[in-house]
């Protein structure tokens, strides 16, 4: 096995010679090349005879600081993956809603209908992180309380990065994509007045927001759906095509109850299918038709 170890504290050629002489004498070490300019050492060794941790300890005994090259960056990347992978299902649903891929939406919809779905995903991502930490400590012969204390920075970065990805998804990504996926009906012909209602929906987290938006959009006459964290949805609809009761009677609201916070009439229905308009008026009323 070959590893690159970063070494801090070297100042001259004597430092290089000291490290090379000591490490090359260890049983299991085949070759070592110390680079003063890059502050590292390329070491080839037999992992069945000596561990990388043992080599690092020997370097530190000489008065230098030793650590695996890019260990921290690789750790962060792995932790980000642990945070993202469990959410592939929801991301797939959002992609399907944005692109209009009904098959993806039908596949992931039953999962999103569970209130505890996202809690399970967070637990799964932390489970991945725990397995990774355990394997890392085991491979470096540090699978013990003492080893855990020695590698507390590695463990902290793993868990903090995993939790950070989950928070970013719930607080930023999912709310943003809920509005991206919520297409409007601005080019539809309005038969009645365009009205709006504000709903408070009992969703456990913002990850369910795209589901609510997509379900509301299935109703004919919905003009626009906008989501506002943590659980508020503003819906514009054509009163000539649908009603508040029809919206509130959606099946999704049986699982995630909705409360009507407010309602408002925005504008008179207008045929927007053409760009020209002819206006007429009388003493009491005025109208525009395209």
Q: Give pLDDT tens digits for 84-101.
A: 666 565 565 556 555 544
Our count of domains for the chain comes to 3
Which pTM does this prediction carry? 0.56
Q: Which of 45-54, 99-108, 132-141 has the highest mean pLDDT?
A: 45-54
61 DSSP 8-state letter: H
**What is the domain range of residue 16?**
2-69
Tokens 């370097």 found at:
59
Q: Which of 246, 235, 238, 247 is nearest to 272 (CA)?
A: 238
Last residue of a domain, one of 120, 145, 180: 180
C-alpha distances (whole Å) from 266 to each of 10, 25, 45, 154, 235 are 72, 83, 74, 55, 11
Residue 52 and residue 150 in one domain: no
Residue 80 and residue 28 in one domain: no
Q: Mean pLDDT of all residues in the chain?
A: 77
pLDDT-based confidence at residue 290 (cuts at 50, 70, 90)? very low
| CATH code of the domain in which 196 resides | 3.30.70.100
pLDDT at site 284: 41
Report yes or no: 233 and 227 within 8 Å, Cβ to Cβ. Answer: yes
Please give the average per-residue pLDDT across 218-247, as a whole number.
Answer: 92
Please give the average per-residue pLDDT across 147-167, as a whole number.
Answer: 80
Please give the average per-residue pLDDT across 184-191, as a whole number.
Answer: 58
| Longest CA span, the chain | 105
Q: Which of 89-103, 112-126, 155-169, 211-225 has the highest mean pLDDT?
A: 211-225
pLDDT at site 192: 74
């Amino acid at each position: 096995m070959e590893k690159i170890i970063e070494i801090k504290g070297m100042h001259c050629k004597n430092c290089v010679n000291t490290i090379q002489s000591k490490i090359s004498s260890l049983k299991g070490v085949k070759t070592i090349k110390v680079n003063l300019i890059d502050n590292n050492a390329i070491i080839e060794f037999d992992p069945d005879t000596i561990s990388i941790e043992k080599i690092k300890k020997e370097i530190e005994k000489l008065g230098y600081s030793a650590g695996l090259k890019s260990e921290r960056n690789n750790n962060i990347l792995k932790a980000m993956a642990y945070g993202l992978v469990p959410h592939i299902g929801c991301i797939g649903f959002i992609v399907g809603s944005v692109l209009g891929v009904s098959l993806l939406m039908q596949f992931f919809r039953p999962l999103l209908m569970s209130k505890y779905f996202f809690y399970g995903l967070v637990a799964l991502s932390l489970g991945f992180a725990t397995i990774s930490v355990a394997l890392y400590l085991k491979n470096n012969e540090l699978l013990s309380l003492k080893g855990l204390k020695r590698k507390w920075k590695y463990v902290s970065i793993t868990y903090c990065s995993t939790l950070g990805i989950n928070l970013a998804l719930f607080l930023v990504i999912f709310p943003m994509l809920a509005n991206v996926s919520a297409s409007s009906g601005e080019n539809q012909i309005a038969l009645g007045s365009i009205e709006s209602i504000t709903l408070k929906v009992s969703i456990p987290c913002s990850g369910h927001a795209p589901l609510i938006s997509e379900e509301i959009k299935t109703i004919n006459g919905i003009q626009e759906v906008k989501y506002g964290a943590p659980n508020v949805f503003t819906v514009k609809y054509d009163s000539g095509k649908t009603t508040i009761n029809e919206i509130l009677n959606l099946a999704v609201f049986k699982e995630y109850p909705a409360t009507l916070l407010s309602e408002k009439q925005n504008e008179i229905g207008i045929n927007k299918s053409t760009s020209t308009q002819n206006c007429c008026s009388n003493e009491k009323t005025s109208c525009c038709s395209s």
